[in-house]
Amino acid sequence: MSQPPAGGPGPLVLVGGGEWRAGATFDAEMLERSGGEVVVLPTAAAYERPERAVATAREWISSLGGRVRACMVLTRADAEAAEAAAVVRGARFVYLSGGSPLHLRSVLKDSAVLHALVAAWHGGAVVAGSSAGAMVLTDPMVDPRGGAFTVGLGLVRNVAVVPHFTGELTAQLRRTLALAPSGCAVAALGETTALVREPDGTWRRAGSGEVSVFVDAEPDGLEALAGKPVW
């Protein structure tokens, strides 16, 4: 992992799914804080009609008075393209859609676009990810195939995200909690709900759904996220 660029990171918005629809009240706030344009990476939806994800984002963001710029990074070659990296590096708000976290990780890991994303973030840009997009931004990352853990992209470390949380401790969530590394905060997030890491390092809940944080398989509060290291 390379050293971060100079400067502090901007807001990090980890969304539990259901992106770009009513209830995601944090989107309007982040648009205002970033100047009104969001660069959407539908990478995780590469095999699920990524253009539809962009269209959904455009309709929602337009309703909030903002603009969407699509950055169609769908393959590893796309993620190494200088043009795509330049778009991301110059963005003030980057949003990673839902879809496949494993595909998203394989496309972005150690890529030019990922390093551009980190540079933009440390320049004060908002970085948001929903469902798969939220899962990969942390390290470790929950493996969706069974609830165990694997390597994530690591913008924030010693935190893992479980999206689409309904308040129920399912068998897979219990397995995830049992397998979590000691001291790792597992954040279970409902749809249209976010955990927001502010530039000063504090965390808060936003949106309309359920949030639960667990450490060592026990319920904890948002204070468990304080001081987690960032890239």
pLDDT tens digits, residue range 199-211?
Answer: 999 999 999 988 9
- Residue 130 falls inside a structural domain: yes
Of 99, 178, 113, 114, give the one whose Cα is nearest residue 144.
Answer: 99
Task: Assign 205 to helix, strand or coil.
Answer: strand
**What are the tens digits of pLDDT across the range 45-80?**
999 999 999 999 999 999 999 999 999 999 999 999
Name the domain count of the chain.
1
pLDDT tier at 7, thresholds 50, 70, 90: low
- Residue 103 falls inside a structural domain: yes
- Residue 1 falls inside a structural domain: no
**What are the tens digits of pLDDT across the range 163-179?**
999 999 999 999 999 99
**What is the pLDDT, as a whole number, of residue 178?**
97
Radius of gyration of the chain measured on its C-alpha atoms: 16
Q: Is pLDDT at 144 greater than 80 in this prediction?
A: yes
Q: What is the residue whose two structure tokens read 């110059």?
A: 90
Which residues are registered as beta bridge partners of 129? 14, 96
H/E element, 69:
strand 67-70
Cα-based distances in Å from 113 to 47, 86, 90, 100? 19, 8, 11, 18
Task: Assign 231 to helix, strand or coil.
Answer: coil
For the beta carbon of residue 230, count every other beta carbon within 10 angstroms.
17
Token output for 13: 């918005």
- Whole-number Å distance between alpha carbons of 109 and 227: 24
Give the HSE-up count for residue 131: Cα atoms under 13 Å, Cβ half-sphere. 17
- Residue 5 falls inside a structural domain: no
**Type of residue at 210:** E
Enter the pTM of the model. 0.96
Of 60, 121, 63, give the one whose Cα is nearest residue 94.
Answer: 121
pLDDT: is 30 or 7 the higher one? 30
- Residue 81 falls inside a structural domain: yes
- Residue 147 falls inside a structural domain: yes
Give the HSE-up count for residue 178: Cα atoms under 13 Å, Cβ half-sphere. 9
- Maximal CA-CA distance, the chain: 45
205, 222 contact by CB (below 8 A): yes
Token output for 47: 């095999």
**What is the pLDDT, as a whole number, of residue 8?**
78
- Residue 6 falls inside a structural domain: no
Which CATH number is 44's domain given? 3.40.50.880
Of 108, 143, 131, give the one whose Cα is nearest residue 190.
Answer: 131
Note down the domain range covering 171.
Answer: 12-225
178, 185 contact by CB (below 8 A): no
- Residue 3 falls inside a structural domain: no
Q: Where are the alpha helices (DSSP H) in the chain?
A: 26-34, 50-63, 76-79, 82-89, 101-108, 112-122, 132-137, 171-179
